[in-house]
Structure 1
Amino acid sequence: MGTPTADLVSETRAERERLAGLFGDLTPEQWDAASLCDGWRVREVVAHMTMPFRTKPLKVMGGLVRARFSFNRYADRDARSAAAAMSEAELVGLLRRNIDHPWQPPGGGQAGALSHDVIHGLDVTEPLGLPPAPVERLALVLGSTQPRQLKYFGVDLSGTRLTAADSGVSIGDGPDVVEMTSKEMLLVVTGRRRLGELPKTR
């Protein structure tokens, strides 16, 4: 049985509130630090997180047409443009004002909305040495992971099963067991960290 939508909504709100608080305390140097998203600084990641609150369907469609229907290309252009046009305070303010925003990614539902915020939150907090989302929230995101998402991030778990020691969540069904934390597992399944960097245990 899946997680009730009301619980996912509550966790999404809590994560946005948590991140808005962290982002509001960043120094200018931290805003310009490299994130885990290739080619993006922290400010581009935060700008991307606000995209659902800044764009309307027609604008998105127009952007996709100009990007030759590559969402990644469109998202990159949008993040860079917004990061250049908006101040740090404006980006944080936009996130704060939309803590209760009902946006859900196409086909992703409320679990997808939570995953979007938690994963991109890690893109910022991990390189800056800031706290990640609570283990229970990370576990919710891991629990909604589907094979198509692993493929999207270029992650191959053939022959491997990942197990989170702090939450009990497992992904994969191979004979080789890799034990790690929930945070490490989310970094692996989203392609932020290579599986080979971690030791394997039976």
Structure 2
Amino acid sequence: MPRADIWAAIHRERAALADELADLTTQQWSAPSLCGRWSVQEVVAHLTAAASTGRLRWIRSMLGARFDADLHNQRRMREHLGTGPAETLERFRATVTNTTAPSGHTPAWLGEIVVHGSDIRYPLGLAGTPALSAVTEVARFFAARDFTVSGRTATAGLHLQAIDGPFDTGTGPSVRGSTLALVMAMAGRAEYCAELSGPGAATLRERIGG
């Protein structure tokens, strides 16, 4: 996808998630997500931070955290966390059309909203799903390199086959599933491994700690 189309997809996915978040209860906002120890509200604040942090700010923040990415993410998340769900959502909505990012790896930032949107939707049972074209772009990026996630390492020697779209890459024992399930597994979300099949599925599950 051309870069302009990727940014347009990022903006659509952010807007769609924001609309879903508007209907959450207070209990749902405080529910655990699939993203480590973060609640749904904290993941939304992290998405706001990611959409607000350019290259220089990212470098300064990482230096301040002594290149501890977890500490960097925690500090920036807290910076963008509102006093309650309404303010957190308002801050996220304000970034929907931002084109700010720490680097020019635009598919990675599409992956940011696809993965974290699913981190929120999956445990809450929300019906929304990212567009297949967007998820396919992320799948190709994740499988080709270790950047924001260790997708290339996790899938080395495996043949990934999407059952709902054109994503098909690698050689070796096959791992089949929806494009989103493959993306989320590459992002280390073991919960999605239950949706995968094929002789390579157990290997992938083991590699991501599932």
- TM-score normalised per structure 2: 0.81
1:119 maps onto 2:111 in alignment: no
Aligned-residue RMSD, C-alpha: 2.6
Cα distance in 1, alignment partners of residues 80 and 33 from structure 2: 16
Per-residue CA deviations over 1:57-86 (Å, capped at 9, x if unaligned) read: 666455433422212221023324543x43
SS of equivalent to 1:39: coil
Structure 2 vs 1, CA of residues 56 and 116 (structure 1 numbering), >3 Å: closer, same or farther? Answer: closer
Structure 2 vs 1, CA of residues 139 and 60 (structure 1 numbering), >3 Å: closer, same or farther? Answer: closer
Which residue of 133, 136, 141 corresponds with 2:138?
Answer: 141
SS of equivalent to 2:190: coil
Cα distance in 1, alignment partners of residues 151 and 168 from structure 2: 18
What one-letter code is carried by the residue in structure 2 that aligns with 1:123?
D
CA contact (8 A) 1:11 1:137 kept: yes
Cα distance in 2, alignment partners of residues 171 and 195 from structure 1: 19
1:86 maps onto 2:51 in alignment: no
SS of equivalent to 2:154: coil
Structure 2 vs 1, CA of residues 57 and 33 (structure 1 numbering), >3 Å: closer, same or farther? Answer: same
Q: Answer with 21-30 or 155-164: which moved more.
A: 155-164
CA contact (8 A) 1:150 1:156 kept: no
What one-letter code is carried by the residue in structure 2 that aligns with 1:193?
A
Extract unaligned runs of 5+ from structure 2: 201-210
Q: How many residues align?
A: 197
What one-letter code is carried by the residue in structure 1 that aligns with 2:198?
K
Structure 2 vs 1, CA of residues 64 and 186 (structure 1 numbering), >3 Å: closer, same or farther? Answer: same
Extract unaligned runs of 5+ from structure 1: none
CA contact (8 A) 1:155 1:190 kept: no
Per the alignment, residue 14 of structure 1 pairs with: 12
CA contact (8 A) 1:162 1:177 kept: yes
Per the alignment, residue 182 of structure 1 pairs with: 179
Cα distance in 2, alignment partners of residues 124 and 196 from structure 1: 17
Per the alignment, residue 99 of structure 2 pairs with: 102
* Percentage of pairs with the same residue: 28
1:140, distance to aligned residue in structure 2 (A): 1.9
Q: Answer with 70-79 or 124-133: which moved more.
A: 70-79
Structure 2 vs 1, CA of residues 90 and 154 (structure 1 numbering), >3 Å: closer, same or farther? Answer: farther
Cα distance in 1, alignment partners of residues 79 and 91 from structure 2: 15
- TM-score normalised per structure 1: 0.84
Which residue of 41, 44, 64 corresponds with 1:43?
Answer: 41
Which residue of 2, 8, 26 corresponds with 1:4?
Answer: 2
CA contact (8 A) 1:160 1:178 kept: yes
Structure 2 vs 1, CA of residues 201 and 22 (structure 1 numbering), >3 Å: closer, same or farther? Answer: same
1:147, distance to aligned residue in structure 2 (A): 2.2
What one-letter code is carried by the residue in structure 2 that aligns with 1:199?
S
Cα distance in 2, alignment partners of residues 81 and 99 from structure 1: 18
Per the alignment, residue 69 of structure 1 pairs with: 67
